[in-house]
Amino acid sequence: MPPKTTRPPLGGIDMSPEIDPIREYGLKKGFLPTDPGEPAAPLPPKAAVAPSAPEIPEPPRLVRPAPTRPWQAMLPDYLIEELRQAAAREGTAQKVIVLRALRQAGYRVDDIDLQDLRRR
């Protein structure tokens, strides 16, 4: 194994020629909203509060759709084609269109079940 060579420290490198074009690009694209020369406003001091038990945030409650089971129906070709075209036009699943129609007919359909889970 060759002996390990020591290298000089990197201090004193002037990178301004490389930074200026990068900064210019960032400003042009809107990535950098402020100029580094502008000092940021200091944060107001926090009031002294007696330490208490740390507040643990409650994890967000996941709302899941109802369990599903397969169901098959024999429908006329023209209706199947119309459902397919409507689903493509709306960018959703045929199931969502059918569930919406069932809801409008008075059947119970929860909001979460009207979401197209393939497009999350």
Note whether residue 81 is domain-resident.
Answer: yes
What pLDDT, on a 0 to 100 scale, did the predictor assign at position 103? Answer: 96
Q: How many domains does the chain have?
A: 1
Note whether residue 85 is domain-resident.
Answer: yes
Q: Containing domain of residue 90, as a range?
A: 77-119
Nearest residue to 24 via CA among 15, 14, 35: 35
What pLDDT, on a 0 to 100 scale, did the predictor assign at position 73? Answer: 92
- Which residue ranges in the chain fall short of pLDDT 70? 1, 8-19, 31-53, 62, 119-120
Note whether residue 110 is domain-resident.
Answer: yes
What pLDDT, on a 0 to 100 scale, did the predictor assign at position 104? Answer: 96
* Structure-block tokens of residue 43: 């944060």
